[in-house]
Structure 1
Amino acid sequence: MNMEGYGAIALGMGGASMAYDNGTAAMMNNPATLAMMDEGANLDLALGFLAPQVGSSDGGTTNRSSADFFGGPAFGWVRKHDGLLFGIGVYGQGGMGAEYGSDSIFSNPAKQPVSPGLVNRSEVSVGRMILPLAYEVSPNLKIGGSLDYVWAGMDLKMAINGASFMQMAGGASPMASASGPMVGAFGGIIGAAPGQIGAVNWGYFDFSNQNDFTGQAVGTGYAGKIGFTYKLDSKTTIGATYHSKTRLDDLEAQDATVSFNVDINGGPANLLIPVSGKMTVKDFQWPDTYGMGIAYEASERWMLAADYKRINWKAVMKDFRMEFTPAGNVGMAAGFNGLPMNVTFYQEWDDQHVVMLGAAYRMTDALTLRGGINMANNPVPDKYLHYLFPATIENHVTAGIGYVTGKRSHLDLAFSYAPKVTATSGATGITTSHEQTNGQLVYSTHF
């Protein structure tokens, strides 16, 4: 879910950013490198895009996710005076998502003669408004940190066949569990008597606003970063940073629905029972991260950089927990009002280890060429892989250019490509593939 590079300069360098000046995007990388900037003010205006290509296969049929393009702006402004730098910036942290339409292999979970045409969709997005502070202690030593206001949004439309839901309720599912008073009340109306539910065909979780920038379930909080750089000699600089785990409130969606398609004994077949209420995503957090790196000015034209980053997913992605509290229902659903249901999807992510290597070549005084690679392990175990949470990308190849457009301005452009990763869920047998192309364009001015 983490982006491979923040800012077009760093993205072009494979994401490496710990020990050289990479613009105001450094407030997402190592804030200490901000102190490498010249005295005065700097403004960066950015546009970026993510173009994931995700597909899933089941029973010999493959569908492609239609969530194949996400775009958004970012900006950073900083001012340095007498070695002290402060500023503000807004940057996207990362996320993931997929969408399978009303005719996909997931749209008819009970394989009914007439498909209900259920859309399956997920979207997770996290962003930050950042207040950085950096200081040039000496010509060799720079320190920095930031206070980050963090927001997160989430949409989810997920269909589950009836047998899987009953396994979840009975504690027998290898993927998830469902518990709480609502589950108990639901179980109480399942039986053989007339008027009781004879079978659950499918269930459907639904909270989604179709907004490209915010999710239906939202939460806010804070985090922080610290870092330093030290110049070992005239050509070599090292740097390191620590990004804290976020402290986000639970994400809440007030207008959520959990629907059940059931057979009623002695009554109409395939009766739909929609239950309205509030969905709360419990303790969704972005992990803490450690990063370190080195930059080496090999010549007047060549600069090389190498970073290592550890992203501690294991501490925050053990599971994905939701609490649904029904309210305001009438008819058959009225008996669920006020009875919460707790749903847990097992995740058990591994920590992610990322190696970033980059090079920059100053071809002329105006033009700089960049290239890099970004190598990481897939943190998502195959056992719990879900087709709506395809955060399986491992490696990236990146390239970029920088061009001086004036005495005080320049443009930087970068692209990355992540080769396809294919994995099969050990619990469901569904195979999901994911490859991706990303890009960033940044206009920078100094004044």
Structure 2
Amino acid sequence: MKPNTTTRLLLLAAGVAAAPYALATNGMDFAGYGPIAEAMGGASYAYDNGTAAMQNNPATLSLMESDARFDVALGFLLPTIKYSPAPGAAEQTSDGTMYLMPGLGYARREGALTFGLGVMGQGGMGTKWGTKLSNGAPYENYSNIRYGKLIVPLSYKVTDQLAVAAALNFGYADMEMKMLASGADMYWMSSPATQAALGSMMTATLIGNPQAASLDFSGGDKASATGWGVRLGATFQPSDALTLGAIYNSKSHLSAMKGKVKINMMNTGGGVDTINGDLALPNFQWPDSYGVGAALHMGDLMLTADYERINWSKTMDTFDATVSALVVNGTSMAGEMNLSMPLHWKDQNVVKLGAQYRMDSLTFRVGANLANNPVPDGYANPLLPAIYQNHVTAGLGVQLGRSDSIDFSAVYTPKVSTTHTYHQGDAGTAAAAPGSITTGTGTSSAAGGGAQIMYSHLF
């Protein structure tokens, strides 16, 4: 069954909500969803934080003080990503220094039931290097991974103390990449069958000996997919002062991302061989996660804390790509190329701490977001810079009357550094004498900050 026009527009809206931030702070996820939660270290599982609950704990929608609420938000990410290709080499800085991320949500309560609709970004990552890392070659290094959602939440207040909820999301994800790799790296990323095919092409002089290769699937050739997922949540209030919360977020169910790719291979003779084909990324998904939290209310002061486990190892162990319908230097060829780049991301433990103090029409917030780096040493690819660990946060809420308010948040992220190991040499040498191929070590670092602003109207 083909999606109708309304469905296509809604999926497009979910994609627009994700555009084009290309960087996140807990792996590929944001440190906080919505400025209320972000200002308190991302903690959000056990108190009312607006319609951002659709991305946090949808059961907190049952804690809304009003019968209906509309939020519109805009976020800014301000990263500083740097890379040095070797010890002592000049450090280069990514040109991707600011990204915007809009979002909006509406929720309404009817009796014990609260429902709504939201368009929000889940996360992403990326960089813009231009030709800074290309060692004189006219090929860029660039990446942009995005995931946005159309969310339909439903929260039910079972008793005065207990609420349960589910938020079904329809997602749109896309990926653009321009990656320059050595011929040896291209060979090592190839499956045994693809290694043999490259060798046969060289033997038959269909291509030269690749010294370097540039993979490009960007712009109109980007890979994209649609899919779905669900977030479950619950809150329990054992007393007026204490609220407990818990969530489970399913792994995404995205279809295989598909696009077009162009591979330019610079050979040892100084020429360039070109392979065009259909691209499929069959295994790219967002992982499942789960968490628990608590909020303690003491008059105008609230203290809150969450713990979240994000299972990156289940979805980010390797980056796999298949290229089919091959056209080599203008000649169609049978078969396909299978490439796999090792990532070996680790699961991430995130602790989120926050405090809020209300004073008349103002609300002051502070927090911290503490996590391990999911990217292990040796695998910090400069195109996939999701290496952040800890964040310090603060924010302010301003009441503009009985029904309107504005909330702000700001994040500071200290610098984190880790390494990237790559192969040096051409594909022919890697095939004939793999023991002679050497490796190099580059260093990636990430720092920066961000901010969010949200306007809210209560009905």
Q: TM-score, normalised by structure 1?
A: 0.89
Partner of 1:81: 110
Query: Of 53, 59, 63, which residue of structure 2 is paired with 1:26?
Result: 53
Corresponding residue pairs, total? 413
Shift of 1:383: 2.4
Query: Of 128, 134, 147, which residue of structure 2 is paired with 1:99?
Result: 128
CA contact (8 A) 1:235 1:296 kept: yes
* 1:345 matched to 2:341: yes
Shift of 1:180: 3.7
Partner of 1:112: none
Relative to structure 2, which stretch is displaced further, 244-253 or 156-165?
Answer: 156-165
CA contact (8 A) 2:190 2:337 kept: no
Task: Show the 5 A alignment for 1:201-212.
Answer: 201-209=211-219
Query: Of 406, 411, 415, which residue of structure 2 is paired with 1:411?
Result: 406
Provide the secondary structure at the position in 2 that maps to 1:382.
Answer: coil
Provide the secondary structure at the position in 2 that maps to 1:188.
Answer: helix
2: CA distance between counterparts of 1:225 and 1:361? Answer: 29
Partner of 2:387: 392
**Amino acid corresponding to residue 278 of structure 1 in structure 2:** D
* 1:125 matched to 2:146: yes
Partner of 2:22: none
CA contact (8 A) 2:77 2:98 kept: yes
CA contact (8 A) 1:420 1:434 kept: yes
CA, structure 1 residues 200+79, in 2 after alignment: closer, same or farther (shift >3 Å)? Answer: same
CA contact (8 A) 2:69 2:108 kept: yes
1:245-293 Cα offsets, whole Å, 9 max, x none, are 111111111x320111124xxxxx4211122111111211111111100
* 1:241 matched to 2:210: no
1: CA distance between counterparts of 2:441 and 2:223? Answer: 29
CA contact (8 A) 2:48 2:61 kept: yes
Superposed CA RMSD in Å reads: 1.7
**Amino acid corresponding to residue 204 of structure 1 in structure 2:** S
Provide the secondary structure at the position in 2 that maps to 1:190.
Answer: helix
CA contact (8 A) 1:179 1:341 kept: no
Q: Structure 1 segments of 4 or more deviating over 4 A?
A: 195-198
2: CA distance between counterparts of 1:338 and 1:435? Answer: 46
Runs of 5+ consecutive residues of structure 2 not aligned to the other structure: 1-27, 423-439
Provide the secondary structure at the position in 2 that maps to 1:372.
Answer: strand
CA contact (8 A) 1:39 1:81 kept: no
* 1:3 matched to 2:30: yes
Partner of 1:228: 234
Provide the secondary structure at the position in 2 that maps to 1:53.
Answer: strand
Query: Of 327, 352, 358, which residue of structure 2 is paired with 1:356?
Result: 352
2: CA distance between counterparts of 1:179 and 1:71? Answer: 42
Partner of 1:372: 367
Partner of 1:259: 264
Shift of 1:202: 1.1
CA contact (8 A) 1:36 1:136 kept: no
1: CA distance between counterparts of 2:458 and 2:184? Answer: 62
Partner of 1:266: none
Runs of 5+ consecutive residues of structure 1 not aligned to the other structure: 109-114, 169-175, 264-268
* 1:435 matched to 2:457: no
2: CA distance between counterparts of 1:185 and 1:320? Answer: 21
Partner of 2:137: 116
CA contact (8 A) 1:240 1:291 kept: yes
Provide the secondary structure at the position in 2 that maps to 1:10.
Answer: helix
1:16-75 Cα offsets, whole Å, 9 max, x none, are 001000000001000000011135221001111111110000231111011121102100
CA contact (8 A) 1:230 1:239 kept: yes
Shift of 1:333: 4.2
CA contact (8 A) 2:245 2:293 kept: yes
Partner of 1:172: none
2: CA distance between counterparts of 1:338 and 1:12? Answer: 55
